[in-house]
Each structure stands twice: as structure tokens, then as C-alpha cells.
Amino acid sequence: MSTATMTPASTATPSAITRVRRLITANPSVLPTVASVIIFVGMIVYGETAYGRIVQASTLSNLLINNTHLIVLAVALTFVIITGGIDLSVGSIIAFSSVAGVMLAEAGWNPLLVIVTMIVIGAAFGLVSGILIRYFNVQPFIATLAMMFLGRGLASLLSTKPERLAADSPIRWIGDKIKIIDGPKVNDLTITPAVVMAVLVVLAAFFVLHRTRTGRTVYAIGGSESSALLMGLPVHRTKVLVYVISGALSGLAAVLYTSRLGTAQNITGIGWELDAIAAAVIGGTVLTGAYGYVLGSVVGALVLGLMNVLITRDGGIPPEMTTIITGGILLVFVLLQRAVTRKKE
């Protein structure tokens, strides 16, 4: 009797593993994404075992709240990398947009107009990058590198000291915490409007990439641009569009980050383009293009955020190790991607 009752339970796990194995066999490109999910779960288990208080409402809430800007940037880079391109300007766009936005807010502009202006500034940078790449045949690395220097220079031209939002500025409401569940002591489940906006961005990006002609064109460009042209797809327009999307989302990331900290300066966002690229790659977006998943990039961003939490909890690991560990994880995933692409070939 006991053997019969245990049989379903004992076969449940192997069947789940079998389904995952079949998914990976049928579509090897999901392997890096599956690996990133496993690493994320493993980090949570390790953190809870070693330090405690990881699997609790307040920690998970703060993980989302503190990384909303990185999630949005990871989504932006996913679009670009799938086409086989790169965008190095996102960090500088955040610096320029945030400094300009705070200064406009302090000058008395309508808060909604300030937010729209910050996003439009980012989209304008993306449009210039897209035009350089599309109409002047400039390599994406060079075009966005030029925009990176331009954005950083304009931010420094506006101000070289921190610019602060007024404490009662309506823009800061985007970063205000909203209590969902009142837990014991400080263990509350909270979100912010910024988290909601980031979730909406992820859902919209998922829909565009997987349910629209534009998304199919993005993947087709990464697979073979010449084949996409022969198929009659709007390749040139889409290439410009992905950089406009990347720039606009960078401007939105500037809004989310500035609303949470209430301050902006010309050095904001240094190195964030590399963090966003790392998040996308860890999440399964292949640097050579054609393969990538928005939800995977979100997991990649959370892996980087959780890594910072664990290093902070440990206390004995110097902050500089964050860059080294990120580089090591990134190297592993690049090698994994190379193995996947070779198998596809």
C-alpha cells in the first residue's frame, strides 16, 4: 500500500526534469536562461542558509525596488543585442536626463512634463544612434560610444555638483513605498510606483518581441539581416526603432532612479551600460544576436542585485569583489552561449 501511494510522488520530480530537458533539447537557446534561473534560486537558498532573512518580504521587496532602473535598462539592451547591436550610451543618457530633469523641476516645470522630457531626451539620443547606424553605416559600438561621450559631456556642462529634488516634489512620489502587507516588525511587503512601471515595461516588451511583427523583425535582423531584407521585413526602420526604444527606456530608468534617490549628478550611471549588458547576457540574450528573452534579462538583473545583497550581508567581502564576481559569471555565460550557438550551427 505504501509503495503504491509513493509512486506518484516519486515520479513527479523526474517528469518535471524530463520536461525541462525536452525543452532545452528542442530549443538549446533557452539553456542560458534556465541556468540563470537556477543560479538565482541557488543564491537565494545559499543566502538564507548562510545569512538568514533572505526569503522574507522586506528583502525581496527591496531587491525589486533597488533594481527597477537596472531591470528597465536590461530590457532596453535586450532589444538592441537581439539585433546583433550594442548600446554603450545608456548610462550617459541617464546622467544627462536626470540632471536636466531635476533642474527643470526645480525651475518650476510641471512634473509630468519633466518626466516626459526626460524620456524624450533619451529617445532623441537613441534616434541619433539609430540614424548613424542605419544611414551612415557606422558600427553600433562606435555610434553609441560617441553618444556616451556626448551625453556625459552635456551632463557635466549642465552641472558638476549634485542637483536635488525638493522634498515635496511630486516626482518623488514614484519612488515612495506603498505597504501591501503589514508584516512583523519591519518585515513588510512593499512596492513603489516605480516597480509597477518596471513591470509594465517588461510586459509591454514581452508582448512586442513575441506577439508582433516588429518583434519578429528584431529576431530576424539578428539571425540574418540580408535574409530579413529579402523577406520584405522593415529592417531599416526596425534597426532605428530599437535604438529609440533603448534610449527612451534609458530616460525612463533615469526617472525611476532619480525619484528614488531624489538627486542627480553628472557621474550618475557610470558603468551601468556594462551592468545592463551583463544582466541581459546572464539572462540568456546571446551577444551575436537572434536569441534572447525579456524575462530572462529580468532574472539576470535580479541575479546582479541579489549578489550585491549577499556581499553586503557577508561583510567580509570587499565591495570590489562585486565586479570580479560579475565578470566571472559573465564569462561563464558567454562560454555557455558559445556552446549553444555551436550546437545550433
CA dist., res. 260 & res. 221, Å (int): 37
Q: Is the pTM of this model over 0.85?
A: yes
Q: Which of the two residues, 27 and 229, has the higher pLDDT score?
A: 229
Residue 237 lies in a domain: yes
Q: Which percentage of the chain shows pLDDT scores above 70?
A: 90
Tell whether the model's pLDDT for residue 283 goes beyond 70: yes
Give residue-wise pLDDT tens across range 109-162.
999 999 999 999 999 999 999 999 999 999 999 999 999 999 999 999 999 999
Three cell numbers at 83? 539585433
Residue from 99, 47, 75 nearest 218 by CA: 75
Residue 2 lies in a domain: no
Q: Are 249 and 89 in contact (CB under 8 A)?
A: no
222 — pLDDT class (breaks 50, 70, 90): very high
Lowest mean pLDDT among 18-22, 32-36, 219-223: 18-22
Q: By three-state DSSP, how is residue 84 classified?
A: coil
CATH code at 235?
Answer: 1.10.3470
Residue 21 lies in a domain: no
Give residue-wise pLDDT tens across range 57-81.
888 999 999 999 999 999 999 999 9
> How many domains, in total, are found in the chain?
1
Give residue-wise pLDDT tens across range 233-251.
999 999 999 999 999 999 9
Question: 148 lies in which domain range?
Answer: 31-344
Give residue-wise pLDDT tens across range 178-213.
998 887 777 888 999 999 999 999 999 999 999 999
Give residue-wise pLDDT tens across range 312-324.
888 777 877 778 8
DSSP letter assigned to residue 220: H
Three cell numbers at 196? 509597477
Predicted local distance difference test score (pLDDT) of residue 23: 60
Predicted local distance difference test score (pLDDT) of residue 7: 45
Residue 14 lies in a domain: no
Q: Are 268 and 167 in contact (CB under 8 A)?
A: no
Residue from 121, 115, 77, 78 nearest 96 by CA: 121
Q: How do beta strands 189-191 and 178-181 pair? A: antiparallel
* Mean pLDDT calculated for residue range 258-264: 95
